[in-house]
Amino acid sequence: MTSTATLPAEAAAPPEQGRDPHARRFGLPIATCLVMGNIIGGGIFLLPASVAPFGTISLVAFGVLTAGAIALALVFGRLAQRLPQTGGPYVYARAAFGDFAGFLAAWSYWITAWVSNAALAVAAVGYLTVLFPAVGEHKAATCLAALAVQWLPALANLAGTRYVGAVQLVATVLKFAPLLLVAVGGLFFFDPANLGPFQATGQSPAGAVSAAAAILLFSYLGVESAAVSAGEVRDPARNVGRATILGTAGAAAVYLLGTLSVFGLVPHEKLVASEAPFTDAVNVMFSGGGAGGTWGGTLVACAAVISMLGALNGWTLLSAQTPYAAARDGLFPKVFETKKRGVPVAGVLVTVVLASGLTVYNYTAGSDGVFEVLVLVTTFTATVPYLLSTAAQIHFLLSGQSERVHRGRLVRDGVLAGLAFGFSMWLVAGSGYAAVYQGVLFLFAGVLVYAAMSARKHRATA
């Protein structure tokens, strides 16, 4: 039994789709926006308050995580140079370890995508109620708003990659304008007296960094976005790696500067209890915390909604790309291989229907905690493709596959792969015992699907 699958012959990228006016391959700017937009969802608007109880030592945790995320981004860039195909982690795991590992990467990534989309939609509605209070007055209206938030990005995807890229570019620009206003402009109003203690808990420095990191760990999920859509990127062997690094670095800069500015604008005692830290920061900048409350809240709510719509737009595309790649190889149902206007339409539709069903269940079942548990599980399933991808890179480096290894960069690539693997393991540990346990059950449920698809593939080739 061989451990390495034979990948289907596929060019570095599919033929230029210029014949279809609705399909367009992504250049470097759009690919970079895809990475940044998927990394930064709505969580950034609560992060400063979430880590404030630990003190400014949480900025050290951010720095450590940023280093790990950059290492992971560099590994994805190297892998995309060797295997510049749609599917990202699925392609890498299958090339290194065979069909079963590839399937696990695809299955876990797909679960992560559609459950996370439902969670993003529910979170977006929370910000929508700030702009349109009537949305939150009736459960039916709230549910319909959450469904609309999911289907609008899905329709943009179904219209073709040309529109996916346009929406992603506009959403990234619009959402980063207010974020940069606080991240950069806030530094001019920075008051060191607001920072509070460096270490606000009784833990050791290492313990405080780890505790803060447990909250921040998942801020960088999405670094693989360009790699997953490599087949839709122009010159993927070059641009996927560059977009991954630029997008991750850009997101890191916004995270770090934004958190630092909020720490310096809002007094520590108030920040710890804040439910809208960026709103409080804007109020300090423009009204001294008084009359500008409505204006600040509206600005942050608009930015949050745009941020999550952009993330949903990108994640909807990614949720269809990995099953598409697996379906091409007979490891997912063939319907996922259907592609129009450069987009795997069946994958988009199935994903948005599943996410919509989970959203309706969240608003109608009345079972406390079920939805939150499912979302927590995705924090584990999201890391499975990372572990398999970094392990694939280590496999390529140690197996002497000269066509996939640049010998002059062997030591550097080995160190980066080791750091990225350690970072991925840290992500798993940070998701918690319950999430790992339940996430493994989700993975094992996929084994039955793999058994059926593998048997079908075997009959077809017998």
pLDDT digits (tens, 9 = 90+) for 23-36: 556 678 888 877 88
- Cβ neighbours around 87 below 10 Å, total: 29
| Per-residue pLDDT, 16 | 42
Q: Is 56 helix (H, G, I), strand (E, B) or coil?
A: coil
| Per-residue pLDDT, 14 | 44
Do residues 105 and 290 touch, judged by C-beta distance below 8 A? no
| Per-residue pLDDT, 413 | 82
Tokens read off for 143: 């549910």
Q: What are the DSSP E strand ranges found in 254-298?
A: none
The backbone region for 404, taken as left when phi is positive above 0, alpha when psi lies in -120 to 50, beta otherwise, is alpha
Do residues 75 and 389 touch, judged by C-beta distance below 8 A? yes
- Stretch (H or E) spanning 323: helix 293-328
> Which residue ranges of the chain lie beneath pLDDT 50?
1-19, 289-292, 402
| Per-residue pLDDT, 21 | 54
Task: Please give the Cα distance from 403 to 207 (Å, whole number).
Answer: 43
- Residue recorded with tokens 């992971």: 72
- Residue recorded with tokens 């600040």: 296
**Per-residue DSSP letter, 306:** H
- Cβ neighbours around 197 below 10 Å, total: 11
| Per-residue pLDDT, 412 | 81
- Residue 344 phi, psi dihedral angles, 5° rounding: -70, 90
Residue 288 CB-density burial (10 A; 0-12 exposed, 13-18 middle, 19+ buried): exposed
The backbone region for 160, taken as left when phi is positive above 0, alpha when psi lies in -120 to 50, beta otherwise, is left
| Per-residue pLDDT, 45 | 75
Over the chain, what is the mean pLDDT? 79
